[in-house]
Structures are given as structure tokens and as C-alpha cells.
Amino acid sequence: MHASVPGKPLPAREVWRRIGTQALVTLLAAFWLIPVAMMVSVALMPSASRDVLLGGLVVLRPTLENFAQVWRDNPLPLFFLNSLLITVPTVVLVLSISSLAAFGFSRLPFRGSGFWYILLMLTLMVPIPTLVIPLFQTAKQLGLINNYLGLILPYTALGIPFAVVVLTSYFSRLPRDLEDAARLDGCTSFQVYRQILLPLSWPAMAVVFIWQFMVSWNEFILALVLMQDEGRKPLILVPLIYNGVYLSKPGALFAILTIITVPVILIYLFMQRYFISGLTAGSLKG
């Protein structure tokens, strides 16, 4: 592999390799973004408009009337608040519980830890639709129908296995030098976890944060079953209003889908800064 030297031009072969790699990545990214661009285009498309190109991918006269209709038809601030009241506690619980569990698996080996870790990984294979009926019956018995906890608790339980796998793998790769020094200074296991491992684990924590926020924000099946009260519905259930057998409004449907997507993108852009900074914060100076 050629190493670039400041002030010295790269070999022609290396330049063409980088150009080819960049072109391939750009092409794949553009292909992946086609559905997103189509969603935004339909959301900005006027009713019965023919001023479109490339099958509706490009709108010549965009309008915000579909967004205005969605805003008039629904109490969007209430639905947005409901989604936040479900998603934020879920993310906090998943990060707290899974980081403690990952610390135990990676730094405090105990009898049967390997078995429990494998069992935890197996739960990742369980699809959510198979859990709908038992979760509904359990929530009904506990009085959690139309209750935020009825979604927060299942989302937390379903999110912990993936988070534990990610954080355990990351904790296991961290050097033990600082941990050993902290224990020599009299730190307890919890102090090692809070003062040593957590500050070094920003990259993994950012991955779990983004993933869990996205999953909880966009989860549809359990929200549809457990949130039947109009005042408690999260934002993800609003598209049902504009897509049915007797009513279909694609412009409004894609407008609300665009609105639902924006917070996830903003969270990713915000957490990306911490992800990159965490890469340098996690390095150990010898």
C-alpha cells in the first residue's frame, strides 16, 4: 500500500484507484437514496400535477400543500410529543441496562456467563410479530394498554440484546491498563465502569443510541396494537389515515413519512460528531 508523503504527488495508479472507489461509493449512495428522493418528491407534488420528470422523481413545481394538509388534519405536536415520551426513556433505559450488563460480561466473568451471553444473542432472532399476542395479553393484564409503559418496557427488552452484544464487544477490546491502575487506587467495580469504561466507550454508545432511537421511533406493529387511544398515539401511526381501501392520498401520506424521517436524520447528524470524537477519546496513550 502506498503511503502519501506531504508535498509529493501520488502515483497515477493510486489516483485512479481512489477515483474509482469514490465513484463506486457515490453511485451506490445515489442508488440507495432513490426511494428517499421519491418520497420527498411525492410529498412536494401538487394534486393532479403533470409537471414531473423521471416518473415523479423530479417535481418542476413543488408545493407544501401536502404538508399543510397533514398539519391541519392532525394534532402533530401531540403525536410528536407522544413519540418522544416513548422513545427517549427507551433509549436511556437501553443504554443504562445494556452498558451495565456488557461491563459484567466483559470485565466481571461469572459462572455461566458464556451460556447467558449466547442465550441473549439468540433472542436477536425472535421476530417482533411473533410477540404481538403475548405482549398484548400481558399489557392487558397489567393495565398497560394506552399507557406509555406498554411500549417503553417491550422496546427496552427487545433493544437490550443488540446493545449488549455491541457494548460487550467494544468493552472487551479496551485496554486494561487504566482499569488496573484504578483498582490499585481503590476504585470499586462500579467506579471503574462509570469513570473508566464509559468515557472511553463513546463510539459504541453512539451506535446504540442511534440504532435504538431509530427502532423505537419507527416501530409500528406494537404501537398499532397497544396504543388505541387517539391522544396517546405516536407519530408513526399517522400514515394509516392516508392509506386505506376507501381513502388514498399519496401526497399527504409521503408528507407525513417525510416528517417522521426528519428527526431520525437529525439525531444521526448530531450523534455523528460524538461518534467521531469518541474514536479519539477512546485511544490510550502509552
Structural domains of the chain sorted by starting position, each given as residue range(s) with its CATH number in brackets = 12-63 (no CATH), 73-281 (1.10.3720.10)
**Do residues 170 and 203 make contact, with C-beta atoms less than 8 angstroms apart?**
yes
What nine digits make up the cell of 269?
A: 447528524
Q: Please give the grid coordinates belonging to residue 81.
A: 410529543
In the chain (286 residues long), the average pLDDT of successive 10-residue segments reads 55 80 86 83 74 61 87 92 96 94 85 83 83 91 93 94 90 82 81 84 87 93 91 91 69 90 88 60 41
Residue 54 confidence (pLDDT) = 52
Alpha helices in 174-249 (DSSP H): 177-184, 189-192, 198-200, 202-218, 221-226
Q: How far apart are CA 68 and CA 191, in angstroms?
A: 52
- Count the helices and strands in the chain (H runs, E runs): 12, 2
- List strand residue ranges (DSSP E) for the chain, in order: 52-53, 58-59
Global pTM reads 0.82
Per-residue model confidence (pLDDT) at position 121: 83
Per-residue model confidence (pLDDT) at position 180: 79
| Res 138: pLDDT | 92
DSSP state of 11: P
Question: Is residue 234 left, alpha or beta, with left meaning phi > 0 and alpha meaning psi from -120 to 50?
Answer: beta
What one-character DSSP code corresponds to residue 57?
T
Which letter does DSSP use for residue 157 in this model?
Answer: H
